[in-house]
């Protein structure tokens, strides 16, 4: 019982929070017909944790340069680590709107759109 309380339960709670956060983002994304775009994230790690918690599978776009955010013609929801979001140039930050902040696994993320 002690192992469950100290090891299993904290992991379950973290997974449940990630699932709830992803579902909140996905509900907003579906409502606004927006593409899912990860900024400065490889195709593993954070995106995998996000995709595992998605209610349905969908196409994902990966971008690495801040100017691409402004050039993206598609209505999109961008997900970036808090650190990468804070490092965006002011010209980009002035043209995006933050929607959510949360955690995917242990990583703090910011969800925004242009």
What are the pLDDT digits (tens) for 22-46? 999 999 999 999 999 999 998 778 9
- What mean pLDDT do residues 68-83 have? 93
- Identify the band that residue 105 occupies on the pLDDT scale cut at 50, 70 and 90: confident
**pLDDT value for 1:** 59
**Separation CA 96–CA 29 (nearest Å):** 15
How many domains, the chain?
A: 1
The residue that leads in pLDDT, 83 or 6, is: 83
Domain limits for position 6: 2-113
**pLDDT value for 44:** 77
**pLDDT value for 10:** 54
The residue that leads in pLDDT, 13 or 48, is: 48
Beta bridge partners of 39: 63
Mean pLDDT score across all residues of the chain: 88
**pLDDT value for 2:** 53
Residue 97 has pLDDT above 70, yes or no: yes
């Amino acid at each position: 019982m002690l192992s469950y309380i100290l090891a299993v339960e904290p992991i379950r709670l973290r997974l449940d929070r990630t699932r709830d956060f992803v579902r909140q983002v996905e509900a907003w994304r579906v409502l606004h017909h927006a593409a899912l775009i990860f900024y400065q994230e490889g195709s593993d790690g954070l995106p995998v944790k996000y995709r595992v918690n998605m209610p349905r599978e969908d196409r994902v776009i990966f971008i690495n340069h801040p100017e691409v955010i402004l050039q993206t013609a598609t209505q999109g929801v961008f997900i970036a680590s808090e650190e990468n979001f804070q490092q965006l140039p002011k010209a980009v930050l002035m043209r995006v709107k933050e929607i959510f902040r949360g955690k995917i696994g242990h990583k703090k993320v910011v969800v925004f759109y242009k």
